[in-house]
Structure 1
């Protein structure tokens, strides 16, 4: 394996499938199958998931809701997704722990870095819910933060396109894909890979980001093996 410990970042929208909102059990099971496959190869997996399929804090704030309240609602949405994915993994006999950035002891363990690392060392998949536990920070930033804290070798950002393009390939047929790109170019070109704070945090700590299409079966396994999948930001 090229990578022995990864931080996988999933968007909440990825769980919707063809629905307009909510969770599609078939999609959750597909994701769980791919995570199980890399666990069986010995890869240690931390996972951060968004909540946009249920509620987006920024969207709520733009409609007049207090931003802090909206972000807390978004964090709770990520916990719903985290528990759904935990359940799917455990039904496939993959030992999983959900750690929350917000204290909710009857639902999940509170996030403690050493505890998370110990779970990974024991071969458990660790799902980090509730973002960073603070408003004004996206789940992209949470992925960058948790990835650095657990000493992951890469942040893998799962998307519905096969990498980073010069423009949106669904809108611009002339858009070209990058195989590799540096952090500075991502920021200067305004490429919407992750938000700027997440990119800056990874750049400062030299934590590479791999952007790839997880909807294609086998892509996650190929990525951890170091095969040319997606776009590497380093």
Structure 2
């Protein structure tokens, strides 16, 4: 039931779902599983222990599932799992995981990965993530649902970016970003909230007002940033604000981008 161009190479053991399309000069490795209606354009390489969900399209010259770019990698078994309905554009690279990071790189559903971006080993990406042209997401990063990374940006290893945050173009991100945060400038400054994204998703005006008040409470007040976050969590009734507080108080190896700095 799959459409395979005569010049494509499909290794023995590969599993192709119904309605798959494999274009000219593409390669599918022996441990690859393609869901239904997955489309590989020409010159696509899918290798390693890689699973790709239904209705995903991968464009020319992408390399998906290769070994990690990590000197500690010694050939151990590791995986790459990609969800459904993703659009992976030209020259994108996505690597499998490592033992040190849990052994698996995960991509959620409905993502858009634009030309030339890189998703490194052991990173965990949620649903509806957009990574714009020529971005680099380093190893062990967490990008929650609805995150947008602007073009030519770089995200440092182990960084967490909370749900609904947006990173401006040409930005270096070396610290965790709170949910719904707006980060921009060359060295990554937390300049406010992703208000446009919140409005587009239909978040009620009352919740947006609560988020703006919560952001101000985190920016100014007595005590450290963590102390202000704990106090905010005790005072607020907004589920959106509580999500930010839980993110701040969660486990992380990185510092935070904080309001006003």
The higher relative CO (CA closer than 8 Å, separation ≥ 6) is in: 1
TM-score where L is the length of structure 2:
0.25
- The structure with the largest helix share of the pair is 1
- The structure with the largest strand share of the pair is 2
TM-score where L is the length of structure 1:
0.27
